Amino acid sequence: MAPLTMAKALIIVDVQPTFCEGGSLAVEGGNRVATDIATLISGNHGYALIVTTQDWHIDPGDHFAEDPDFVNSWPPHGVAGSPEAALHPELVKVAHRIGQEVRKGQYAAAYSGFEGDTDDGTPLVTVLRNAEVTDVDVVGLAFDHCVRATALDAIREGLATQVLVNLTASVANDTALSARRELQEAGVVLED
């Protein structure tokens, strides 16, 4: 009997200018995260597949608000086609290492990368299954929102899931602590 082979993917969540310093919904440390992830994937990283996700809002309904509650509604961000919605310039430098790009949230709120599709309409889970991925590392922005949601969906899909916490940044300490507990309870490994 042939040994089982495991393929690991890296999912880079929402590393876009809109979520980095100077962006419309900036997370402190976002630019550092972008640089550190670019350094990781520029070397001999060992991933069978690297996938990026992007908020790509065309008309996300009440996800955008003039008076946002920062729970269910937010100021406009990740507007499709805008420079802020593009991949972070540090990732653009290593774009040849990225195997797939997934966009989410075109017409509704979307936190998890598993709510997104490639340009040809292929869902993230199908991209991973087609590549025979069994394990994922999740990195990006923000740890307590879209990284959290993506990692939870990955484990629900039966993937061995790890978050590389040092390659993330959080919006706030309280939501980061809550996210850590939720992820650990779900069986996600947190690598600090």
**CA-CA distance, 169 to 31, in Å (whole number)?**
10
Residue-level pLDDT at 131: 95
**CATH fold for domain 7-191:** Rossmann fold (3.40.50)
Q: Report which of 2, 1, 30 is spatially closest to residue 14, judged by C-alpha positions.
A: 30
20 assigned to active site: no
CA distance 165 to 6: 22
Bridge partners of 100?
Answer: 51
Give the model's pLDDT for residue 6: 74
Q: What is the distance between the alpha carbons of residues 115 and 141, in angstroms, rounded to a whole number?
A: 16
User: What is the band of 3 on the pLDDT scale with cuts at 50, 70, 90?
Assistant: very low
**Could you give the CA distance from residue 79 to residue 18 in angstroms, rounded to a whole number?**
9
Quick one: how far is CA 88 from the chain centroid? 12
Q: Is the pLDDT of residue 5 over 70?
A: no
Query: Which listed residue (104, 137, 144, 153) is catalytic?
Result: 104
Q: What is the pLDDT of residues 91-111, one digit of tens each?
A: 999 999 999 999 999 999 999
Q: Smallest Cα–Cα separation from 170: which of 141, 190, 149? A: 141
Determine what percent of the chain is predicted with pLDDT higher than 70. Answer: 97
Instruction: State how far the Cα of 115 lies from the Cα of 167, in Å rounded to an integer.
Output: 22
pLDDT band per the 50, 70, 90 thresholds, residue 4: low
The gap between the terminal CA atoms of the chain, to the nearest Å, is 37
150, 113 contact by CB (below 8 A): yes
Active site residue 14: yes
Q: What is the model's pLDDT at position 70?
A: 85
Considering the candidates 20, 137, 144, 146, report the single residue annotated as catalytic. Answer: 146
Residue from 14, 55, 137, 144 carrying the catalytic annotation = 14
How many other CB atoms are found less than 10 A from the CB of residue 177?
12
- For the chain, which residues make up each domain, given as ranges? 7-191
Tell me what pLDDT residue 130 has.
95
Per-residue pLDDT of 114-125, as tens digits, reads 999 999 999 999
Residues 6+ positions from 161 with CB-CB distance below 8 Å:
135, 136, 138, 151, 154, 155, 187, 188, 189
* The predicted structure's pLDDT at residue 71: 83
pLDDT value for 2: 45
Say whether 144 is catalytic.
no
Q: Among 12-16, 72-76, 152-156, where is mean pLDDT lowest?
A: 72-76
Backbone dihedral region for residue 75 (phi beyond 0: left; psi -120 to 50: alpha; all else: beta): beta
